[in-house]
Structure 1
Amino acid sequence: MSAIITDQIRILNAKNFVAGVASSENSYYSFIGLPNPSDVQTNWDTDPPTPKDSFDQERSYYDSMIAMKKINNADIRQVVTKRTWKSGTKYDMYRHDYSRSNTSAISKATNLYNASYYVINDDYRVYMCLQNGTSPDYPNGQISLDQPTFTDLEPRAAGTSNDGYVWKYLFTIKPNEIIKFETSDFIPVPQDWNTSADNAPVRDNAIDGSIKIVTVQNAGVNVGAISTSYTRVPINGDGNGAEATVVVNNDLKIDSVTISSQGSGYTYGTLDLAAGGVPVATTPAEFDVIIPPSGGHGADIYRELGAFNVLMYSRLENDTENPDFITNNQFARIGVVENPLAPNSTLPLALDKASALNAIRLTGIGYSSATFTPDATFIQTIGTGLTAAGRVVNYDQTTGVLKYWQDRVGFNTVGSAVTDAPYGYEQLEFTSSPSTGGTLVITPSTGSNLQIDSSFSGFSTSINNRTYNLGQDFTNGISAPEVKRYSGNIIYVDNRPSVNRSVNQKEDIKVILQF
């Protein structure tokens, strides 16, 4: 038994995913993580390893997560392959019947969506090629010479070169969407095509089963009368009302076919020369009547262009009001989490940004000059024979806030067990209330010993009459991550060469999901 899953289910899945992100019942977050990639693999920056997909690895991704950014409805779009118009290039024309046995003339695509049948111009307007100059003399079409720039609702030629191309204007990409959703390989399609007022002129101009193009496959021999135009030649099929003007040249061959009335309701059709008054030819001419997608050209842009890819966008910026995205360190992993939870809760996380790191507030003489080497291990003796260990992510000398993550105790960063864990085999948390034999002392990489500020609680602190927001809420000098660890589903992971973050830096993250 032979079966296929069609491209339409891919488009449906992409639509449903976008709708799921937009739903108030869900929350999706992009994240950055892994500040210590060289511990995992020494040549990480030149050859990042392929991410692993397992429940165990998912927890490991959470362990080294740094911060998260919420993905809203305005941060996600369906996207399609970017094909930029270039003079002198041959493009495929739209056809309804590309398949393994009828490949596209230019790209040899076995389906419509892999064919090069639409373009984006210099002004970010998108057009579909309805005719590429295909004729008996040019069975594979011609090169395109005139860049389409018009916004007319009906298809037409783009210029005066007579290159044979007929273009259909679809939409213009807005400037803010160019910034967010254009990449070197993809362009966005408009949001809410079926309801948006911006798209209404093109959408409402679509007619289901209307005929725009008839190509001449064989011009025939001894067709009609010399240099004669035959008008109102009907197109027969399961629709009605479509007619064409057929021009016969001096050689008694079909010179051109132009649609004079597009009709409606066609899923197949043929040009009826006899009914149009064209005398019987010695060798009959042959034509292809091109059938539009359901609803007509422009009715459903996602189906017409094959929008089965989704792009999610996040911008990471340093924010003094909410400094969740640290500086003076690096990240080498990005990803997406579905429905993470708020800490100590069963409710979805709702923050726009969230720190995934632990933090402690330090005090003591020299805290403003002490340093903590990024990725180094620091410890606290929390009781007799009990040691908490953390890995440095960032230390703020102004506020005394040390952000850190905890590696898997008894295991190395790759996840392999070790025989002699230096701080024991139990992951212990830092505390402002150590037990007997414990201490609040934290030793920096350079400088005098500091202590956890067990008297400090709050989200901000005042230093020299200036208020500093810390990005996390502290209780007795200790702050937990703003997301419930290991909650939700990590649905995307990308290991990449490390990115060093600085104070004046921002990053645009664009994640492509292919359905």
Structure 2
Amino acid sequence: MSAIITDQFRILNANNFVESVENVNNSYYVFIGLPNPAGTSTLVGYGRSSDWNSSTPAPTDSFSYRSHTGDTMMFGKKISSANIRRIIRRVDWVSGSRYEIYRDDYSVEKPSPLTQANRLYDANYYVLNSDFKVYVCIDNGSTGANPLGNVSQDEPTFTDLEPSKAGNSGDGYLWKYLFTVSPSDIIKFDSTEFITVPNSWNSSQDSQIRSVRENGDSSVNQNQIKHVYIENAGSGYANGLSQEVDIIGDGEGAKARVDVVNGSITDVNVSAGGKGYSYGIVDLGTLSSGVSTSTGRAKLVPIIPPGLGHGSDVYTELGTDRVIVYARFDDSTKDFPIDTKFSQVGVVKNPTKVGTAVTYTDNTYSSLQAVKFDTVTGVPQVGEEIKQVLTVSPNVGKVSTGYIASYDSETKVLKYFRDRSLNFNRTSYDHTDYAGISTAGRIYQFESVVGANNIEGKSSFFAGAISREFSGITTNPTGNKLINLGVNFISGLSNSEINKGSGEIVYLDNRPLIVRNSRQKED
């Protein structure tokens, strides 16, 4: 049995995602993670690869892979409704270029004439002008005899509600204004590939959006059909200009004025758009008395707009089947490791607050654990393995381990994470049994007690003494600057702010390793 996933299903998914983000009961976060994706051969097989940076692997959609992603997650930034938009391909208006008309019947059997697109949303039937206004092309002068249409010479700049020509060049184009990309969206979602589309189109009270939306409601305005395409001009029709005929079909009220010169139809203009059409037929009966053979019959195709009419629902009209999210990562909070490296970016829905089942709702979170040192010798390196030999019963002699995600030399705070590579067999890189598994296969927490051993680096050989007298969220290392550490410490140790593995990872992207510096921002 043949079946398809329709464009409207994809648009629905995008709509549902945006609406879910806007729902006050949900918390979505953009997160970064995996600061050591390549490392050494001992890490290969744990969601990493030895040639990660030169041949970055695609994420794997499995529970195991997502769990590993949760283990190596570092920092999250909440997505607000102001920071998410539906998007469409960017098609810029350029003088001398051709653009296709909107048609409701582009398909594999009837591809668009210029780009040969097999679906409407891949055709170049809309443009973004130099003022970031978006227009749909209603007419480009094309006919069955001139299927590619004319080149566009006049840039559309108007904001009239009805389709209009853009200038006096006579290029044959009619444009329908839809919306203007807001200045804040231009800055925030700056892209050479995509155009952002306003949120809440169907309910927005923005005066311009509301005017376009309400004008597009043909059930009220009876202005549904905007254009009739001349596929075949025919012959033998009654000569005359502006001869009004009905557009019949399953709707009502549409009419067109037809120009006939030397028996052939030279121009058709819609005089009344009507309402309720899913197809239309131009009734030329009053003009066809002189048509003697079927070969002389004209073929006029009324173009049916989406929904109620152009502008009534721009998500359907433009095919907003993708979404863009904006998040800025910077050093405005010590929650975010400014010296870190990362190679994964994702979106997680509704992580829970550590130690509870309550959805986390703060603007940012750290999913790293941390240690504050009194003294440090050597320089900890991001990505290296750390260890501490434990002294407290029943774990005397056992080893606590982790990987460094960041180290702040000013505050002497080291942030770390753990994943299964610390506990699995390090020869076969999997679940294979090995000598010492009873201890090395377990996770032990770092300890902060009198007489505790230093935490040491496996490759840099740094040594740090835990500041077991330090508790709180602020520190003043120089005596004249209070620093907010972003997370609360108890006896020099802090926990993740979310439960590991909590929430649904709904998007994940692997990238070549990104190395930051303290002044860098990611938008």
Q: Shared fold by TM > 0.5?
A: yes
Q: Percent identity?
A: 41
Q: Report the equivalent of 1:513.
A: none
Q: Report the equivalent of 1:268.
A: 279
2:27·2:359 contact (CA, 8 Å) conserved in 1? yes
1:36 partner amino acid: N
Q: How does 1:25-64 map to 2 (within 5 A)?
A: 25-39=25-39, 40-64=48-72
Q: Report the equivalent of 2:4.
A: 4
Q: Report the equivalent of 2:326.
A: 313
2:32·2:76 contact (CA, 8 Å) conserved in 1? yes
- Give the SS at the match of 1:351: coil
Equivalent in 433, 437, 440 of residue 424 of structure 1: 440
1:407·1:413 contact (CA, 8 Å) conserved in 2? no
2:330·2:338 contact (CA, 8 Å) conserved in 1? no
Q: Report the equivalent of 1:345.
A: 356
CA separation in 1, counterparts of 2:38 and 2:326? 27
- Give the SS at the match of 1:202: helix
Deviates most, 63-72 or 39-48: 39-48
Q: How does 1:135-284 map to 2 (within 5 A)?
A: 135-198=143-206, 199-206=209-216, 207-208=218-219, 210-225=224-239, 228-249=240-261, 251-275=262-286, 280-282=290-292, 283-284=296-297
1:217 partner amino acid: E
- Give the SS at the match of 2:482: strand
Q: Report the equivalent of 1:90.
A: 98
CA 1:194–1:380: 2 relative to 1, 3 Å:
same
CA separation in 2, counterparts of 1:447 and 1:380? 12
Equivalent in 71, 79, 82 of residue 71 of structure 1: 79
1:151·1:169 contact (CA, 8 Å) conserved in 2? yes
Deviation per CA, 1:227-252: give whole Å up to 9, x if none.
x3134322223333322222223x33
1:75·1:313 contact (CA, 8 Å) conserved in 2? yes
Q: Indicate the structure with greater strand content.
A: 1
Q: Report the equivalent of 1:357.
A: 368
Say whether 1:131 aligns with 2:139.
Answer: yes
2:275·2:308 contact (CA, 8 Å) conserved in 1? no
User: Aligned-pair distance for 1:358?
Assistant: 0.8
CA separation in 1, counterparts of 2:129 and 2:98? 15
Deviation per CA, 1:247-305: give whole Å up to 9, x if none.
223x3322111122222232322222344x67533523221111122211111111111
Say whether 1:324 aligns with 2:335.
Answer: yes
2:514 partner amino acid: V
Q: Report the equivalent of 2:344.
A: 333
User: Aligned-pair distance for 1:74?
Assistant: 1.3
CA separation in 2, counterparts of 1:440 and 1:113? 63
Deviation per CA, 1:171-196: give whole Å up to 9, x if none.
11112112333433322211110111
Which segments of 5 or more consecutive residues in structure 2 lack a partner in the other structure? 40-47
Q: Report the equivalent of 1:14.
A: 14
Deviates most, 156-165 or 353-362: 156-165
CA 1:372–1:414: 2 relative to 1, 3 Å:
farther
Please give the TM-score of this superposition, normalised by the length of structure 2. Answer: 0.89
1:310 partner amino acid: V
Equivalent in 478, 499, 508 of residue 493 of structure 1: 508
Deviates most, 55-64 or 232-241: 232-241
Please give the TM-score of this superposition, normalised by the length of structure 1. Answer: 0.90
CA separation in 1, counterparts of 2:53 and 2:172? 50
Q: Tell me how large the CA RMSD over aligned residues is.
A: 2.4
Say whether 1:461 aligns with 2:461.
Answer: no
Deviates most, 353-362 or 90-99: 90-99
User: Aligned-pair distance for 1:340?
Assistant: 0.7
Q: Report the equivalent of 2:42.
A: none
2:33·2:73 contact (CA, 8 Å) conserved in 1? yes
- Give the SS at the match of 2:101: coil
Q: Number of residue pairs matched?
A: 496
CA separation in 1, counterparts of 2:51 and 2:460? 28
Say whether 1:295 aligns with 2:308.
Answer: yes
CA separation in 2, counterparts of 1:448 and 1:302? 56
Which segments of 5 or more consecutive residues in structure 1 lack a partner in the other structure? 509-515
1:274·1:280 contact (CA, 8 Å) conserved in 2? no
Deviation per CA, 1:66-95: give whole Å up to 9, x if none.
111111111212112222222333222111
- Give the SS at the match of 2:353: coil
User: Aligned-pair distance for 1:498?
Assistant: 1.3
Q: Report the equivalent of 1:395.
A: 407
Deviates most, 463-472 or 278-287: 278-287
Q: How does 1:429-468 map to 2 (within 5 A)?
A: 429-433=445-449, 439-443=452-456, 449-463=463-477, 464-468=479-483
Say whether 1:103 aligns with 2:114.
Answer: no
